């Protein structure tokens, strides 16, 4: 593709996007073409939270359903990475502009992240909803290890002569903790400075 893919990391890099995503998740759709200008596709939350609206807004686009197959494997990965990170963010309150987004980003999956059974039931419910609402000819089911083939076939693109990237494993995620902490501090300081300038 000739443009970047919108990932959750984009929201951290552009915390001003958080307000738009919160509104979209709550049902107030933005002008998607304008908001996502410069991106070729999107993966991960909060993009995935708006999958119904985005699928309707881009009716010819393939829809990628990335999953782990076994909900136990998914929950184990979440418990080791995303859930501790979410708790860390929420503990800051609204000093961090990204927090309002994280208060609702998992709402459609579970209410208690420590309730393993509820979380896994939400995961399976999510998969069923996508499978039932997206036409089979648009849906790409993909699991880690599947490689390029299904994605490239759906996009009518040649398979790259490169190994499929693996850049967000549990080990990778944990190794980036110090970098995330520095970025968090810079984001909060920037938000505080902007707020002070607005109040002057």
The residue ranges of DSSP E strands in the chain, in sequence order, are 5-6, 41-42, 63-66, 139-142
Q: 55-105, pLDDT tens digit by residue?
A: 999 999 999 999 988 999 999 988 988 888 888 888 887 788 888 998 899
d(CA 12, CA 96): 10
Q: 152-186, pLDDT tens digit by residue?
A: 999 899 999 988 887 666 677 667 777 777 777 77
Q: 128-140, pLDDT tens digit by residue?
A: 999 999 999 999 9
For residue 114, is pLDDT > 80? yes
Contact by Cβ (8 Å): 46, 25 = yes
Band of pLDDT at residue 120, cut at 50, 70 and 90:
very high
d(CA 162, CA 145): 14
For residue 26, is pLDDT > 90? yes
Q: Scan for tokens 């607005």, then name that residue.
A: 198
pLDDT in the model for residue 25: 95
Can you tell me the mean pLDDT for 12-34? 95
β-pairing verdict for 63-66 and 41-42:
unpaired
pLDDT in the model for residue 58: 97
pLDDT in the model for residue 199: 57
Residue 25: both structure tokens together: 């998740």
More confident residue, 88 or 126: 126
Distances (CA, A) of 19 to 24, 29, 33, 97: 9, 12, 17, 8
d(CA 200, CA 197): 5
Q: Which CATH architecture has domain 5-190?
A: 3-Layer(aba) Sandwich (3.40)
- Rg of the chain over CA atoms, in angstroms? 18
On average, the pLDDT of the chain sits at 88
pLDDT in the model for residue 136: 95
pLDDT in the model for residue 22: 95
Residue ranges of the domains in the chain?
5-190
pLDDT in the model for residue 183: 78
For residue 42, is pLDDT > 90? yes
Task: Tell which residue, 172, 49, 106, has the closest CA to residue 180.
Answer: 172
More confident residue, 110 or 62: 62
Can you tell me the mean pLDDT for 99-126? 89
pLDDT in the model for residue 196: 55
Contact by Cβ (8 Å): 65, 127 = yes
Distances (CA, A) of 55 to 37, 50, 173, 184: 16, 8, 29, 32
- For the ranges 4-18, 24-38, 106-120, the lowest mean pLDDT is seen at 106-120
pLDDT in the model for residue 194: 66
Alpha-carbon torsion (98, 101, 105, 107), positive or negative: positive
């Amino acid at each position: 593709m000739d443009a970047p893919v919108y990932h959750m990391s984009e929201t951290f890099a552009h915390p001003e996007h958080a307000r738009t995503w919160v509104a979209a998740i709550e049902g107030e759709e933005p002008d998607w073409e304008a908001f996502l200008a410069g991106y070729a596709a999107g993966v991960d939350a909060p993009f995935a939270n708006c999958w119904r609206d985005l699928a309707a807004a881009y009716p010819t686009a393939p829809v990628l359903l990335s999953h782990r197959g076994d909900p136990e494997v998914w929950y184990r990965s979440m418990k080791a990475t995303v859930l501790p990170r979410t708790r860390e963010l929420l503990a800051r309150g609204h000093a961090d502009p990204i927090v309002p987004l994280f208060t609702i980003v998992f709402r459609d999956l579970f209410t208690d992240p420590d309730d393993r059974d509820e979380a896994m039931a939400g995961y399976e419910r999510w998969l069923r909803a996508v499978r039932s609402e997206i036409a089979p000819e648009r849906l790409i089911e993909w699991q880690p290890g599947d490689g390029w083939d299904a994605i490239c076939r759906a996009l009518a693109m040649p398979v790259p002569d490169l190994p499929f990237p693996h850049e967000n494993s549990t080990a990778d995620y944990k190794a980036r903790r110090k970098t995330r902490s520095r970025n968090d501090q810079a984001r909060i300081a920037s938000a505080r400075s902007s707020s002070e300038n607005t109040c002057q």
